Amino acid sequence: MKIVSLLFLFISCSFSSIAQSTKGIEDSLKLRTVFDMALLNGQAYNWLDHLSNEIGPRLSGSSNAQRAVEYTKKELEKLGLDSVWLQPVMVPKWVRGAKEYAYVESTPGSTRDINITALGGSVATPNGGTKAEVLEVQGIEDLERYGEEQVKGKIVFYNRPMRADLINTFEAYGGCVDQRYSGAAEAAKYGAVGVIVRSLNLRLDDFPHTGTMSYGELPVSQRIPAAAISTNDAEYLSGLLKIQKDIKLYFKLNSEQFQDVLSYNVIGEITGSEFPEEIIVVGGHLDSWDLGDGSHDDGAGVVQSMEVLRLLKEIGLKPKRSIRVVLFMNEENGLRGGNKYAEVAKEKNENHIFALESDAGGFTPRGFSFEADDAQFAQITSWNELFKPYLIHQFDRGGSGADIGPLRGGTTVLAGLRPDSQRYFDHHHSDNDTFEHINKRELELGAATMTSLIYLVDKYGIKGIPVDREPKF
């Protein structure tokens, strides 16, 4: 009996290996086709060329953002998807106005210009600008130590740099972004008249990097202007303050917040042939900051997501599940698009089994990070081997993407593409985020990597969702 059992076990194992390996070969060939098509005849780079060079930066509420909506909808319509539509969403409209200006005055009449940019959401300075002494701090927690006595009437200068020893630069970003996001609201409570923040950039250069900030519950009358200065200027200013405490900084911001305006998420779908109610989303965000042209953040994610659906069509896939590309509006300063999409999905009682976002730059893809339960993560990592010929090794647990975050809950698996992160913050939210810094192959490899994952999710479904039920028809 024992021997029979063992024999049986042996036979079943062999059968299952054969079955697995046949499936494995089929999937492996499919992925090779996807990568070949992306690299030999990809569309992503051409789309991004148009988005970056013909349209340009796409801040929410701007006419460029509207042009991007129209352009991507038109391009999706050319792909022969089952449906393409716009999802209305009201978005904030913040406008930078005239270019900012700043200088440091060490003695009256002796000044040096500073590279500065208003943070998104900041109020303007008074008409004549703001000029005051500077208090350098290493973070919000320093404010309490200095107290109102030393903060009042000053410009607070947040200068905690991103940690260079962290391999994942997004982790370094996460360790500093509170200065930019909440620095002004906190400093205002101590009577500061303005805030400048060291740009969230690991490199020393002259580009100031913008990004969203919030005054929280602070009454309008107490809001103070907030801006970022370049890392080189942050180093300069910090050095100067070490030898002369009473220098003054002047800065002038001309920004203005308008009423919310109507904009759109752009959505395209291939409807599933077997389980059309199981929805798989792939997306990026269509809006960008108003500096540079938003090529890495997040033009790359937009065109890669569009390319996923094009490639799936191109390989002749008739997906079992419904696959949607969603180009979200207003990730940068409101997340209104992501929230709206999830809100509508909930209203319609839609079943999202999987969502993948690309919003970490168009660099060489290294893998994905997943928000998934243990069984789901085990299922997904069983596919890892298929990606290794393309030098994709990272299948980690971790954050996914801001726009798909509102879909979190239930059995929905969320995933984020993880490109190589070393160069990302050289470009992020600055005049240095331009098309010339996109490498065509890296962009295409990202699109192929995403397509491969979506192909597997469609084919095998996701654990926690009933995958073996009968087709509906």
Q: List residues binding its own copies (CB under 8 A).
A: 35-36, 39-40, 164-165, 167, 169, 202-203, 364, 366, 389-391, 393-394, 420, 422-423, 426, 439-442, 445
Dihedral sign (CA 426, 430, 435, 440): positive
**Please, is 178 exposed, middle or buried when counting C-beta atoms within 10 Å of its C-beta (0-12, 13-18, 19+)?**
middle
CB 440 within 8 Å of CB 45: yes
Nearer to its own copies, 289 or 387 (CB): 387
Nearer to its own copies, 260 or 420 (CB): 420
Nearer to its own copies, 388 or 472 (CB): 388
CB 319 within 8 Å of CB 308: no
Distance between CA atoms of 447 and 454, rounded to whole angstroms? 11
Distance between CA atoms of 194 and 187, rounded to whole angstroms? 8
How many alpha carbons fall within 13 Å on the CB side of residue 217?
0
CB 297 within 8 Å of CB 289: yes
* Shortest Å distance, C-beta 164 to its own copies: 5
Distance between CA atoms of 30 and 27, rounded to whole angstroms? 5
Distance between CA atoms of 319 and 394, rounded to whole angstroms? 26
Question: Phi and psi for 37 in degrees, rounded to 5?
Answer: -65, -40
- C-alpha 324 chain-centroid distance: 18
**Please, is 242 exposed, middle or buried when counting C-beta atoms within 10 Å of its C-beta (0-12, 13-18, 19+)?**
exposed
Count of helices and strands (H, E) across the chain: 13, 16
Tokens of 130: 């703001």
Q: Which of 186, 331, 332, 371 is catalytic?
A: 331
* Shortest Å distance, C-beta 440 to its own copies: 7
* Shortest Å distance, C-beta 430 to its own copies: 15
- C-alpha 86 chain-centroid distance: 21
Beta strand spans in 372-462 (E) = 394-397, 413-419
Q: Which of 447, 462, 417, 416 is nearest to 320 (CA)?
A: 462
Confirm whether 385 is a catalytic residue: no
Q: Which of 293, 290, 285, 329 is nearest to 119 (CA)?
A: 290
* Shortest Å distance, C-beta 175 to its own copies: 15
Q: Would strands 365-371 and 413-419 be described as parallel, antiparallel, or unpaired?
A: antiparallel
Quote the longest CA-to-CA distance of the chain.
98
DSSP string, 265-313: EEEEEEPPSSEEEEEEEEEEES---SSTT-IIIIIHHHHHHHHHHHHHH
Distance between CA atoms of 234 and 121, rounded to whole angstroms? 21
Distance between CA atoms of 203 and 427, rounded to whole angstroms? 10
The structure tokens 């740009």 sit at 199
Catalytic residue numbers read 331
